[in-house]
Amino acid sequence: MFTASFYAPAYGADINDLKSQIDAKNEEIRKLEEEMRQYKGSIEGAQLLAKTLNAQIAKLNAEIKALNTQIVLTSKKISKKELEIQQLAYEIKNTETAMIERQKAIKGILISLNQSEENTAFEAFLKFWTISDFFTELENIEVLNGKIRENFDKLAGLKIELESKKGSAEVANKDLQNLKNDLVDQKLIQEQGKTEKKSILKATKNQEAEYQKLLKDRQAKKEAFEMELFQFESQLKYELDKSKLPQVGKGVLAWPLDNVFITQYFGKTVDSVRLYRSGTHNGIDLRARNGTPIKSAGPGKVTATGNTDLQFGCYSYGKWILIDHQNGLATLYAHLSIIKVVAGDQIASDQIIGYSGYTGAVEPAGILGAHLHLTVFASSAVTIQRYTSSMNCKNVSIPVANPNAYLDPLLYL
């Protein structure tokens, strides 16, 4: 009579140690995330006060410290993810071993069952001294059949479990690579912050009067280009056909930030009259401290990217991305520190396309303060214009459209 043995995965000291390490990383991550929340509050408060050189430098220092904490946090997340991948590898190995044991058990049962069924019923009957022994053997055969069914069911369950764990391992490896990419970006943004701080100190010679003069000069250049742009766009011929636009409604587009706080609305407002030479604002501004991930407002294709800072003294969009959502709308994201896409890329909804930063009119010198500028266009009207003659922005490229083609983002968000 064959007796089946059953294998249960045994997690030893190694996997228990991994679990302990993962728990420790979770606690470290929790503390760092709390530290990041405290930095966020202090930076947002400092932004409101950054009207002097000392206040601006203090804000930049706080941002650099926050970025350093973010780098440490991401490093911890990478370590945790690596431990989770090791744990999954152990679990996959144990599941595979369990499957082999089940297969061996089934093989043994089949051999035993085959031996029991080789004889005819009459021959089997003659082997036994009593009828009781004969019926006992028949019961044993039935038990073996039951064991086969049980082991096949267990084997099928282990196969499903193995596929699930392998799927989790694939996701974990992708997450690990994304975290490593994030770490590279965060280090670059931190270096940019340090460079911006040095640039301000150099330009102002650490003097308040020079800082105020710098602010005034940049504001004048910003306004000059805004007027140039407004006059150019006003001459473009375009009739808005609303039938080619998606129906107005919430959720047509998604917010490009996880945490939304609007600092400037679309169109003519008290602030737009004060801040913009044209008296109107062609998008909305969203608070976004340096290094905040920026997501696409929906699926689409990257039409173009650019950087107006390539022309010294051109205080405009800075690093920007234009996406055609192929539903009649296009979106512009400006003042980025890093651009993560290139023209022609197909973009998924909610995909990270870049990071906020201090480019264009969002200078560390504080013309407008750190934010993301988001514009929504009627996509049929927007084109990329390379200026060949401009007071301060000669040879830069930016998206342009007739003023009628600028749409209020809040109609679709």
Domain boundary among 159, 189, 219: 189
In this prediction, residue 14 carries a pLDDT of: 76
Instruction: Decide: 385 and 398 in contact? Cβ < 8 Å.
Output: yes
**Do 218 and 172 sit in the same domain of this protein?**
no
Instruction: Decide: 67 and 193 in contact? Cβ < 8 Å.
Output: yes
Residue 198 domain-assigned (yes or no): no
Backbone angles phi, psi at 81, to 5 degrees: -65, -40
d(CA 303, CA 323): 5
**Do 181 and 222 sit in the same domain of this protein?**
no
d(CA 50, CA 13): 54
Domain boundary among 189, 219, 249: 189
Record the tokens describing residue 338, joined without a space. 């890093």
**Do 221 and 366 sit in the same domain of this protein?**
yes
d(CA 357, CA 367): 13
Residue 380 domain-assigned (yes or no): yes
**Do 20 and 142 sit in the same domain of this protein?**
yes
**Do 213 and 183 sit in the same domain of this protein?**
no
Instruction: Decide: 352 and 393 in contact? Cβ < 8 Å.
Output: no
**Do 177 and 234 sit in the same domain of this protein?**
no
Predicted model pTM: 0.78
Residue 1 domain-assigned (yes or no): no
In this prediction, residue 273 carries a pLDDT of: 40
Total domain count for the chain? Answer: 2
Record the tokens describing residue 237, joined without a space. 């011929």
Residue 395: CB atoms within 10 A of its CB come to 12
Q: Residues with Cβ < 8 Å from 333, sequence gap 6 or more?
A: 256, 294, 320, 321, 323, 353, 354, 372, 373, 374
Inter-helix orientation angle 208-234/53-117, to 10°: 70
Q: CATH number for the domain including 328? A: 2.70.70.10
**Do 219 and 139 sit in the same domain of this protein?**
no
Q: How far is CA 14 from the centre of its chain?
A: 32
**Do 184 and 38 sit in the same domain of this protein?**
yes
Backbone angles phi, psi at 294, to 5 degrees: -110, 130
In this prediction, residue 289 carries a pLDDT of: 86
Residue 3 domain-assigned (yes or no): no
Q: CATH number for the domain including 110? A: 1.10.287.1490
Per-residue pLDDT of the chain (413 residues; tens, 9 = 90+): 434 343 444 445 577 888 899 999 999 999 998 888 888 777 766 665 567 888 888 888 888 999 999 999 999 999 999 999 999 999 999 899 888 888 888 888 777 666 655 555 545 545 555 556 545 655 666 666 677 778 788 888 889 999 999 999 999 999 999 999 999 999 999 999 898 889 889 988 889 998 888 888 888 888 888 888 888 888 898 888 989 999 999 999 999 999 999 988 998 755 544 445 456 789 999 988 889 999 999 999 999 999 999 988 888 899 999 999 999 999 999 999 999 999 999 999 889 999 999 898 875 444 456 789 999 999 999 999 988 778 888 889 999 999 999 999 999 99
**Do 154 and 303 sit in the same domain of this protein?**
no
Using DSSP, state whether 101 is helix, strand or coil: helix
Residue 71 domain-assigned (yes or no): yes
H or E element at residue 160: helix 131-204
Residue 338 domain-assigned (yes or no): yes
In this prediction, residue 230 carries a pLDDT of: 85
**Do 128 and 214 sit in the same domain of this protein?**
no
Domain extent, residue 109, equals 13-189
What is the dihedral sign for C-alpha 231, 235, 241, 246?
A: negative
Using DSSP, state whether 300 is helix, strand or coil: strand
Residue 100 domain-assigned (yes or no): yes
Partnered with residue 398 across adjacent β-strands are: 385
In this prediction, residue 7 carries a pLDDT of: 40
**Do 102 and 158 sit in the same domain of this protein?**
yes
Residue 202 domain-assigned (yes or no): no
**Do 40 and 111 sit in the same domain of this protein?**
yes
Domain boundary among 160, 189, 218: 189
d(CA 193, CA 187): 10
